[in-house]
């Protein structure tokens, strides 16, 4: 794990050092630290902020450089949760990001390191049990999970000439997770994401395209320090599982390898009153799940198809206000293909090439979203007040086939939420207050579970029922946050120290008034 992180850490040190030297050596009269709202206003004013095309960074309205670094703490707890989720989690870490312009280049980068501890978690031995891959592994012993993440991104845009801009976007994620209680799973995940892009600028019309490749892997190793025997459960979707009992040599290692290929097309037009950005993204992700090292056993092959259509409108916006309308449609289909041994093939080795494969897991989801934002600001860095309302209608259908019987879960959700913000500026002090709330309702839901007693022996019905109740219950949400910043000068360069504190409460309409609480704290500086 440490060797995998050497190069990214070196890159971080070089970028951070260069940025600080630029800040110290530049003419102090031209420097201005970013505020609590600088990055948010930058994204609100730019229709391209929704784009996955790095070349669009050319059209972000900033000169010089600005960024932020902060230490963050997050605590979430409650009894309203999914089956494989913890009832309490704590996260703390270091986070940084920044923008810089150098000639015809514009760059953006971020680096995040954080630790997380998840308490009282059961039935999972993977770092992210709800990552759109139903083929997870776990045990019934439970315990606390410790996790460590490194995430970084660097992207740049070069204005080749007035007509063409080129861009690149590189992301690298790494993580380690472990449960310090037998059977002690240890997880190592890595992900590398590359997105080159180009935009053609035809004055009031711009056309862009970008491509994407992402490769990732998660290694899962189970170890024991006692002589006790344990059962490992291999989940297949909607509570279906097989199990393996430990031997003297322990368990077989498991791993998943994923590859994503995709692309996007973008189109924008500008008029005196309206600006529009529209994009269409298409991705295909293939995840290969295997068990064993010397003679890997094929568990499943998961195909994930994603279509994402997005459109953003800025109308009547000027130097003092922003009217922003967003429309989004996402459709996703996931298929889990499993090897099945047929009678005529029983004499051959149990390998992918020697058995039939059937699609037994099916998932189809759709998401429709409309959001509107209005912001009034005092200058390019400070919000006077603003509001956002967001409405989402989504549907999800999941089926796991036993042929001819099946488990089937279907639900539809409507979510409305809003945010209200008010900012104050006096002398070198700044504050930003916000309140948020929302409601989620579910309709037209159904759950069907196999009735055959033999099949039910390999189905965790509590798994399905708890997740079904989570997705289909009504949910109220309310929260608030306060940010306070103070600008000072360091080596003739202005920086802003800030404190950010937020609280959120979610209460479901399930019997017992189940809830979920989140507390967030950030302490850092903008420069």
- Please, which residues have CB within 8 angstroms of residue 35's CB and are 6 or more apart in sequence? 381, 382, 430, 485, 496, 526
Residue 491: predicted pLDDT = 81
Interval 448-504: pLDDT, tens: 999 999 999 999 999 999 999 999 999 999 999 999 999 998 887 889 999 999 999
Domain that holds residue 290: 2-526
Rounded Cα–Cα distance for residues 17 and 13 (Å)? 6
Rounded Cα–Cα distance for residues 242 and 246 (Å)? 14
**What SS3 class is residue 352?**
helix
| pLDDT at position 342 over 70 | no
Residue 10: predicted pLDDT = 44
Q: Which range has highest mean pLDDT (4-13, 191-200, 347-356)?
A: 191-200
pLDDT band at 279 (very low <50, low <70, confident <90, very high): very high
**What SS3 class is residue 123?**
coil
Interval 282-303: pLDDT, tens: 999 999 999 887 778 889 999 9
Number of Cβ within 10 Å of residue 351's Cβ equals 12
Residue 11: predicted pLDDT = 44
Query: Which is more confidently placed, 2 or 343?
Result: 343
Residue 166: predicted pLDDT = 98
Residue 229: predicted pLDDT = 84
384: left (phi over 0), alpha (psi -120 to 50) or beta: alpha
Query: Do residues 281 and 262 lie in contact, with contact meaning Cβ atoms separated by under 8 Å?
Result: yes
Residue 385: is it exposed, middle or buried by C-beta count within 10 angstroms (0-12/13-18/19+)?
A: middle
Burial 402-412 (b: 16+ CB within 10 A, else e): eeeebbbbbbb
- Please, which residues have CB within 8 angstroms of residue 45's CB and are 6 or more apart in sequence? 61, 314, 317, 322
Residue in this structure with the two tokens 């899962």, named with its chain if needed: 220
pLDDT band at 252 (very low <50, low <70, confident <90, very high): confident
Rounded Cα–Cα distance for residues 306 and 459 (Å)? 29
Number of H helices, E strands in the chain: 4, 22
- Please, which residues have CB within 8 angstroms of residue 280's CB and are 6 or more apart in sequence? 264, 265, 307, 308, 309, 310
3-state helix, strand, coil in the chain (%, to 5): 15, 65, 25
**What SS3 class is residue 448?**
strand
| pLDDT at position 321 over 70 | yes
Residue 111: predicted pLDDT = 97
Rounded Cα–Cα distance for residues 48 and 270 (Å)? 12
pLDDT band at 180 (very low <50, low <70, confident <90, very high): confident
- Angle made by CA atoms 209, 215, 220, in degrees to the nearest 5: 155
Average pLDDT over residues 517-527: 97
Number of Cβ within 10 Å of residue 3's Cβ equals 6
Rounded Cα–Cα distance for residues 43 and 328 (Å)? 17
Rounded Cα–Cα distance for residues 250 and 254 (Å)? 13
Interval 22-78: pLDDT, tens: 433 333 333 456 899 999 999 999 999 999 999 999 999 998 889 999 999 999 999
Please give the tally of structural domains in the chain: 1
pTM above 0.75, yes or no: yes
| pLDDT at position 84 over 60 | yes
Residue 263 forms beta bridges with which residues?
211, 282
């Amino acid at each position: 794990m440490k060797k995998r992180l050497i190069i990214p850490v070196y890159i971080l040190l070089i970028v951070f050092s260069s940025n600080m030297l630029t800040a110290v050596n530049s003419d102090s009269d031209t420097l201005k630290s970013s505020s609590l709202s600088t990055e948010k206003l930058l994204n609100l004013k730019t229709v391209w902020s929704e784009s996955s095309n790095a070349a669009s960074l050319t059209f972000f309205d900033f000169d010089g450089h600005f960024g932020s670094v902060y230490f963050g703490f997050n605590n979430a707890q409650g009894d309203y949760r999914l089956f494989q989720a913890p009832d309490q989690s704590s996260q703390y870490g270091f986070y940084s990001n920044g923008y810089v312009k150098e000639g015809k280049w514009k760059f953006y980068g971020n680096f995040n390191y954080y630790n997380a501890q998840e308490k009282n978690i059961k039935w999972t031995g993977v770092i992210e049990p709800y990552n759109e891959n139903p083929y997870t592994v776990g045990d019934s012993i439970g315990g606390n999970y410790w996790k460590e993440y490194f995430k970084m991104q660097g992207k740049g845009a070069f204005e080749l000439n007035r007509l063409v801009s080129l861009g690149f976007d590189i992301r690298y994620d790494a993580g380690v997770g472990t449960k310090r209680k037998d059977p002690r799973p240890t997880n190592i995940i890595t992900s590398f994401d590359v997105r080159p892009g180009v935009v053609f600028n035809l004055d009031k019309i711009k056309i862009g395209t970008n491509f994407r490749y992402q490769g990732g892997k998660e290694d899962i190793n189970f170890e024991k320090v006692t002589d006790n025997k344990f059962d490992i459960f291999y989940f297949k979707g909607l509570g279906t599982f097989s199990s393996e009992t430990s031997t003297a040599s322990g368990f077989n290692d498991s791993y998943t390898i994923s590859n994503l290929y995709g692309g996007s097309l973008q189109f924008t037009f500008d008029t005196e009153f309206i600006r529009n950005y529209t994009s269409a993204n298409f991705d295909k992700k293939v995840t290969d799940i295997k068990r064993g090292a010397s003679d890997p056993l094929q568990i499943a092959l998961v195909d994930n198809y994603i279509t994402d259509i997005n459109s953003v409108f800025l109308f009547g916006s000027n130097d003092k206000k922003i009217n922003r309308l967003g429309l989004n449609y996402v459709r996703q289909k996931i298929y889990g293909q499993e090897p099945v041994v047929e009678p005529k093939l029983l004499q051959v080795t149990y390998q992918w090439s020697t058995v039939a494969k059937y699609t037994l897991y099916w998932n189809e989801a759709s998401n429709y979203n409309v959001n509107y934002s209005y912001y009034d600001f005092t200058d390019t860095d400070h919000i006077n007040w603003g509001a956002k309302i967001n409405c989402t209608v989504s549907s999800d259908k999941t089926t796991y086939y036993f042929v001819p019987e099946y488990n089937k879960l279907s639900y539809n959700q409507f979510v409305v939420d809003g945010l209200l913000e008010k900012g104050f500026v006096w002398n070198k002090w700044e504050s930003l207050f916000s309140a948020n709330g929302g409601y989620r309702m579910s309709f037209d839901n159904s759950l069907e579970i196999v009735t055959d007693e033999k099949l039910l022996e390999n189905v965790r019905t509590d798994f399905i029922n708890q997740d079904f109740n989570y997705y289909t219950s009504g949910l109220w949400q309310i929260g608030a946050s306060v940010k306070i910043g103070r600008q000072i000068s360091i080596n003739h360069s202005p920086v802003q120290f800030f404190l950010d504190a937020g609280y959120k409460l979610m209460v479901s309409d399930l019997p017992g008034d189940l809830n979920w609480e989140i507390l967030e704290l950030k302490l850092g500086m903008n420069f």
